[in-house]
Amino acid sequence: MTQPSRLIIPAPGGAIAALAWPAPGRPRLLAAHGNGFNAMTLKPVLETLAGRFDIIAVDLRGHGRTTLPADPKALSGWDIYAEDLLHVMAALDRPPDLLAGHSMGAASLLLAAGRMDAPPPLALVEPVVLPPLIYLAARTPLWPLFRARIGLGERARRRANGWAAPQDALARYSAKPAMAAWPAGVLEAYLEDGLVEGVAEGERVWRLACDPAWEGANFEACRHDLMTAAAHAGARVHVLKAQAGSTVINARGLERRGAQISIMDGVGHLAPMEAPGRVAQWIAGVGAREGLGGKS
């Protein structure tokens, strides 16, 4: 399989790390991962598309090797990710022809598209699209009461975070039922950029690159407007919804704004990790329907 090269894109306050599978002359695909993960996690999906697309996959703020500030107390919504993604697009030698993302990354790409004069097609795998009431509540003084009921944030903050060696982290995650079912190599890809080495009490320690406090804050940061962005992008928005445990809760709202929804059976919210080949095939299909990405 084609191995990615690494890019560093300077940005205010730090730098944005990215992976690249260059394919000069091919349509450019810009990819973004989900909360708590990193661009390398999408490697099993993206390497399948290498050669068909000229691929750049970004480590979002607070994730992977990106070094931008990530203060959980200052986070209220995902527009900050949209701004970072637009910064990346502006720094590239040519704009993307297709935006593809998973979960929070998918939603952030949609927010970015909402700010573009002419957004390219979007292939969004399990974007987090919650009921309208959640986004309304996030803009009111009642939000702390709603936020406490989400639950995912607090669970994320309680994650184990410190191992003597990367192999210990691999063993722990391999024992988790949700990750044990992932195809060979997917978990290893996540941990390649998902751990950072440090020192604690004079001992080497490996911690999560995405601090659990930042991951938890992302689950609770709902002050952004996906529906306005979806209305702007219209029929260029293609959404892959999982058959079980989907976070595309307000699919009807997306459809009313022109989005095209597909349902994939046999997968849950973590579809890119559970079935990378099928997800890659879907993204390629979106590209083909939009006149992009011929055979490699």
Residue 81's pLDDT is what? 98
Tell me the pLDDT band of 3, cut-offs 50, 70 and 90. confident
- Counting runs of H as helices and runs of E as strands, what totals does the chain give? 14, 10
6 residue type, one letter = R
Tell me the pLDDT band of 274, cut-offs 50, 70 and 90. very high
> What is the rounded distance in angstroms from the CA atom of residue 128 to the CA atom of residue 107?
6
pLDDT digits (tens, 9 = 90+) for 58-78: 999 999 999 999 999 999 999
Residue 293's pLDDT is what? 60
pLDDT digits (tens, 9 = 90+) for 148-157: 777 889 999 9
> Mean pLDDT in the chain?
95
Closest CA to 249 of 274, 276, 222: 222
pLDDT digits (tens, 9 = 90+) for 196-238: 999 877 889 999 999 999 999 999 999 999 999 999 999 999 9
The correct answer on CATH 3.40.50.1820 for the domain covering 5-139+225-289 is: yes
Asked if residue 90 has pLDDT above 50, the reply is yes
Q: What is the pTM of this model?
A: 0.96
Residue with tokens 């927010």: 111
Asked if residue 83 has pLDDT above 70, the reply is yes
pLDDT digits (tens, 9 = 90+) for 32-47: 999 999 999 999 999 9
Tell me the pLDDT band of 1, cut-offs 50, 70 and 90. low
Residue 241's pLDDT is what? 98
pLDDT digits (tens, 9 = 90+) for 230-272: 999 999 999 999 999 999 999 999 999 999 999 999 999 999 9
Higher pLDDT among residues 242 and 144, named by residue: 242
Q: 113-117, 242-246, 290-294: which has the minimum mean pLDDT? A: 290-294
Residue 266's pLDDT is what? 95
- φ, ψ for residue 30 (rounded to 5)? -110, 125
Q: 94 vs 27, 86, 271, CA distance in Å? A: 10, 13, 29
Mean pLDDT of the region 132-139: 94
Residue 203's pLDDT is what? 84
> What is the rounded distance in angstroms from the CA atom of residue 79 to the CA atom of residue 137?
17
Asked if residue 284 has pLDDT above 80, the reply is yes
Chain centroid, CA 166 distance in Å? 23
Asked if residue 296 has pLDDT above 80, the reply is no
Residue 202, C-beta contacts closer than 8 angstroms, at least 6 positions apart: none
